[in-house]
């Protein structure tokens, strides 16, 4: 578990980085399993949400 303080960058990461359960690696980012595929809501959030701490 990682500890972090709340900020917009953390919120953006939580909302835009999807993870899938993997038996060997626990949780793996969806981008790693299926590179190049991104949903429209994720694209929108990455563009619209601020990237500052």
* Pure H helices in the chain: 8-16, 30-33, 40-48
Q: List the pLDDT tens digit at each of the 53 positions of the chain.
A: 778 888 888 888 888 887 788 888 888 877 777 777 777 887 888 888 888 75
Among 12, 5, 1, CA closest to 52: 12
Domain boundaries, the chain: 8-48
Separation between Cα atoms, residue 1 and residue 45, nearest integer Å: 24
Among 19, 20, 8, CA closest to 45: 8
pTM above threshold 0.75: no
């Amino acid at each position: 578990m990682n500890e972090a303080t709340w900020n917009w960058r953390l919120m953006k990461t939580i909302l835009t980085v999807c993870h899938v359960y993997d038996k060997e690696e626990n949780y793996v980012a969806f981008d790693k399993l299926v590179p190049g595929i991104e949903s429209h809501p994720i694209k929108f959030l990455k563009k619209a949400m601020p990237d500052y701490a």
